[in-house]
Chains A and B, each alone.
Chain A
Amino acid sequence: MERDGERIEITISSRFENIELVQVIAEHLCENAGMDEDGSHWIGMAVREAVANAIKHGNKLDIKKKVSAVFELNGHDLAITISDEGTGFDPTAVSDPLNPQNLMKTSGRGIFYMRTFMDQIRYSFQDGGGTSLIMTKNLAKGTGLATGKA
């Protein structure tokens, strides 16, 4: 099923308990668009990681700062934008969790999971502060998992 012009937006305060609200919207939107349950789950997981990063690293757990999520579905093309009010970061400085020296680290896998489950992710940094993460996925491609086991 193709759905043209579907747009959903939600804004939450920076509380971890709000992450699931955004994740559930992502999963339902994908399932309504005809994505299978596993594929919808993995996109929901990418959204979970993105919102968690926005709350923790972007807004630094300041509940007065907001995180917004915009879902735009055109045909099979899904674009998800997660924005925070933080000062940004250098994406090229994020270490590779598959590097043997990083394998046993207790953090640093969130962006890797996003890249794994989505077709493309990119960051946009606003001059006055604020970071947006734009993730895209063609829902007709299936789960897109690197291992192809799900």
Chain B
Amino acid sequence: MKATTRDVNGIEIIKLDGKITIGAGDQQLRDVIANAVANGKNKILLDLSGVTTIDSSGIGELVGSYTTATNRGGKLKLLHLPAKLNELLHVTQLITVFEVYENEDEAVKSF
């Protein structure tokens, strides 16, 4: 998995590309979020458009990332959810937890 970060109006936008699966990306995602939060960037927008594969471990890391940001008084929101990831969040009812956006400007303004 590759993570690319940029700052837009104080919002840390993290674009993830590749797999978020057990042993291949799950730990990386945890580290990326931990680093952002440790640097005081706790308003996080995860751009998931480049995620090609995700499994239950990856879903678990998304939940853990949300909790990490929230526990620091921040927020973590999702942008450009691929269809199959959207389905996985629906069947586990996690779609009710995350705020999901299709437009980056709208997502940034929502924080």
Contacts and interface: CB of A to CB of B under 8 A. Distances in A.
B28 interface: no
Contacts of B21: 16, 19, 48
B38 interface: no
B22 interface: yes
Given A56-B22, A149-B87, A103 B94 contact: yes
A146 to B, nearest CB: 5
A52 B22 contact: yes
Nearest to A15: B23
Contacts of A17: 23-24
Interface string A108-150: 0110110010000000000000000000000000000111011
Interface in B34-51: none
A147 B55 contact: no
A104 to B, nearest CB: 6
A79 B15 CA distance: 38
Given A52-B55, A150-B83, A103 B93 contact: yes
Interface string A28-72: 000000000000010001001100100010000000000000000
B56 A49 contact: yes
A104 B23 contact: no
B97 A109 contact: no
A56 B60 CA distance: 15
Interface residues of B, number: 24
A116 B23 CA distance: 23
A26 B24 CA distance: 20
B90 interface: yes
20 contacts: A17-B23, A17-B24, A19-B21, A19-B22, A45-B55, A48-B21, A52-B22, A52-B56, A103-B97, A106-B67, A107-B57, A109-B56, A112-B56, A113-B88, A113-B91, A113-B92, A147-B91, A149-B90, A150-B83, A150-B87
- Which 10 A/B pairs are nearest by Cβ-Cβ distance? A16-B23, A106-B60, A109-B56, A106-B64, A110-B56, A52-B22, A147-B90, A150-B87, A107-B60, A116-B91
Interface of B: 21-24, 55-57, 59-61, 63-64, 66-67, 83-84, 87-88, 90-94, 97
Interface of A: 16-17, 19, 41, 45, 48-49, 52, 56, 97-98, 103-107, 109-110, 112-113, 116, 145-147, 149-150
